[in-house]
Amino acid sequence: MKNILIGLLTISFFSCIKEPVYDVNILDVNRIDMETGYIENVNIYINQDRIALIQNTHSKEFKAKETIDAKGAFAIPGLWDNHIHFRGGASLLKDNEMFLEQLINNGITSVRDAGGDLTSIIKDWQVEISKNERVGPTIFTSGPKIDGKNPTWQGSLEVESEAELDQALDSLEKLKVNFVKLYDSKLNGNLFLSALKKSKTRGLITSGHMPFSVTLNQALDAGMNGVEHLYYILKGSSKDELEITKQFQRGTLGFWQAMPLLINSYNDTTANRLFSKMKKHEVFVIPTLHIGNTLSYLDEIDHSTDEYLNLLSARFKSTYERRIKSALNSTPETRANRKNLNAFFRKLTLKLHESGVQLMAGSDAGAYNAYVYPGPSLHKELESLVAVGLSPLEALKTSVINGPKWLGVEEDYGAIGIGKKADILLLKKNPLINIKNTTSIQAVIKNGRYVKKN
């Protein structure tokens, strides 16, 4: 009798516990483990902007306010474009706003903005996107670049003394930027090294271009955390780096003139020493291969029928002219050098990867960078990384794992796991079989919200 009573009480107790109802469930999806490539058939449950539960499909199914039947689809974390630019001033604002939607449409749920002149607007976007008042990726930004007087890029902080450098870093800290971007159009080499050291003291991470008046070793010793593009890696891999640096300091050698010399003096021993130091210091490299390919072949490849051009304003497209003209007006020798350099960079990327240096996939898309379109170009970057020798899984890691790792936000991102941000890309085809399948997008879930179908 007593046992029956306990039994009845137990049954009524459990029937009183309400079954949870999640905000979103994604049923019957092939989740890809981004570390191992292991694929498991699961149900994913989301509450607000986080993944709340993941269970295999044999487990009891829970209800949700919104159900996504994902049978046959593959789930990976939303992609990261780890080098883009929102820029071009107020007159290009509409184009830049359109990019936010295009990035999401292309499965890119986070971006690293590597410096521009729209910082205050980006700050507004960050808030609106986090509140789901605007469709767009999570934006991590450097704010304005640090450069010297009369720099190439509008909006840069012009630094010509230690005092100005301190002020610039103060203002970046006030803006709560995610990293400090250094640029080499006019920045003095000593101030560049000082900027690296001072940023480190302040707990800020740094990346950028490096003035050729310093050596890559000096930059690493000063604490540089990220190297954008491969010119600086090439410089550090030359057995003649010191001599070339001196010529640069004397003004007897220019940046582009130095490239063939650097290629000819590339040395495996020098490079290996450098790469193991970079690996040890956890310095990440952003190879930006797709823009390299695109700009190196502007003289041969006709982009006039690119569909994306229809989305861009005439004013935006006019920002492409500078690079197009310089490519078309260049001498046959310059064109050949450019292509040669591009080919060398592809080999260098594989060497870096094989040496254990961590890479980040970034497209460099934005105004002025001709035909490198925000959204599609990250997929092209992934394709390029596979073309040079990375596996599709390794290429994907450079986007979705290394991006958050470099910024120190890997707790929230980098996997489809419990507690992670619910930024998920559903693909119709397996991207580990063919990296081009990252474009077979079925749906994008951003901040736990289903934002795009087909």
Give yes or no for a contact between 235 and 212, defined as CB atoms under 8 angstroms apart. Answer: yes
Q: In this chain, which of 81, 95, 113, 364 binds Zn ion, going by CB under 5 A?
A: 364
- Residue 117 is a binding residue for Zn ion (CB under 5 A): no
The residue with its CB nearest to Zn ion is 364
- Which residue stretches of 85-214 are H helix? 93-105, 119-130, 162-174, 189-201
Residue 21 identity (one-letter amino acid): V
State the nearest-atom distance from the C-beta of 121 to Zn ion, in Å: 18
Count other Cβ atoms within 10 Å, centred on residue 301. 11
Using the CB atoms, write b or e for 338-359: b if 16+ within 10 Å: beebbebbbebbebbbeeebbb
Shorter beta-carbon distance to Zn ion: residue 114 or 271: 114
**Stretch of 50-58, 108-116, 190-198, 417-425 contacting Zn ion, by CB under 5 A:** 108-116
Integer Cα distance of 435 and 438 in angstroms: 6
State the nearest-atom distance from the C-beta of 383 to Zn ion, in Å: 19
Give yes or no for a contact between 104 and 79, defined as CB atoms under 8 angstroms apart. Answer: no
| Cα-only R_g, the chain | 24
Shorter beta-carbon distance to Zn ion: residue 130 or 342: 342
**Stretch of 106-114, 131-139, 289-297, 313-321 contacting Zn ion, by CB under 5 A:** 106-114
**Stretch of 162-170, 239-247, 357-365, 404-412 contacting Zn ion, by CB under 5 A:** 357-365
Count other Cβ atoms within 10 Å, centred on residue 59. 11
Give yes or no for a contact between 258 and 231, defined as CB atoms under 8 angstroms apart. Answer: no
Long-range contacts of range 169-177, CB-CB < 8 Å, 24 or more positions apart?
169/195, 169/198, 169/199, 169/202, 169/204, 172/142, 172/143, 172/144, 172/146, 172/204, 173/202, 173/204, 175/119, 175/123, 175/143, 177/141, 177/142, 177/143, 177/204
Integer Cα distance of 322 and 88 in angstroms: 14
State the nearest-atom distance from the C-beta of 256 to Zn ion, in Å: 17
Count other Cβ atoms within 10 Å, centred on residue 172. 23
State the nearest-atom distance from the C-beta of 230 to Zn ion, in Å: 13
> With the C-alpha atoms ordered 415, 419, 424, 429, is the resulting torsion angle positive or negative?
positive
State the nearest-atom distance from the C-beta of 82 to Zn ion, in Å: 11
Shorter beta-carbon distance to Zn ion: residue 49 or 364: 364
Site string for Zn ion, 55-94 (x = CB under 5 A): ----------------------------------------
Shorter beta-carbon distance to Zn ion: residue 181 or 353: 181
Residue 411, both tokens: 């707790």
Give how many residues touch Zn ion by CB under 5 A.
2
**Stretch of 109-117, 293-301, 378-386, 440-448 contacting Zn ion, by CB under 5 A:** 109-117
Count other Cβ atoms within 10 Å, centred on residue 66. 13
Which residues, listed in sequence order, are joined to residue 339 by a DSSP beta bridge? none
Classify residue 417 as exposed, middle or buried by CB count within 10 Å of its CB (0-12, 13-18, 19+).
Answer: middle
State the nearest-atom distance from the C-beta of 85 to Zn ion, in Å: 6
Shorter beta-carbon distance to Zn ion: residue 43 or 319: 319
Enumerate residues 6+ apart whose C-beta is below 8 A from 48. 23, 422, 448
State the nearest-atom distance from the C-beta of 183 to Zn ion, in Å: 9
State the nearest-atom distance from the C-beta of 286 to Zn ion, in Å: 9
Shorter beta-carbon distance to Zn ion: residue 29 or 365: 365
Shorter beta-carbon distance to Zn ion: residue 84 or 415: 84
State the nearest-atom distance from the C-beta of 344 to Zn ion, in Å: 20
Shorter beta-carbon distance to Zn ion: residue 32 or 365: 365
**Stretch of 114-122, 134-142, 159-167, 244-252 contacting Zn ion, by CB under 5 A:** 114-122
**Stretch of 187-195, 261-269, 340-348, 356-364 contacting Zn ion, by CB under 5 A:** 356-364
State the nearest-atom distance from the C-beta of 145 to Zn ion, in Å: 9
Q: How many helices (H) and strands (E) does the chain have?
A: 17, 17
Shorter beta-carbon distance to Zn ion: residue 114 or 295: 114
**Stretch of 30-38, 213-221, 237-245, 361-369 contacting Zn ion, by CB under 5 A:** 361-369
Contacting positions for Zn ion (CB under 5 A):
114, 364
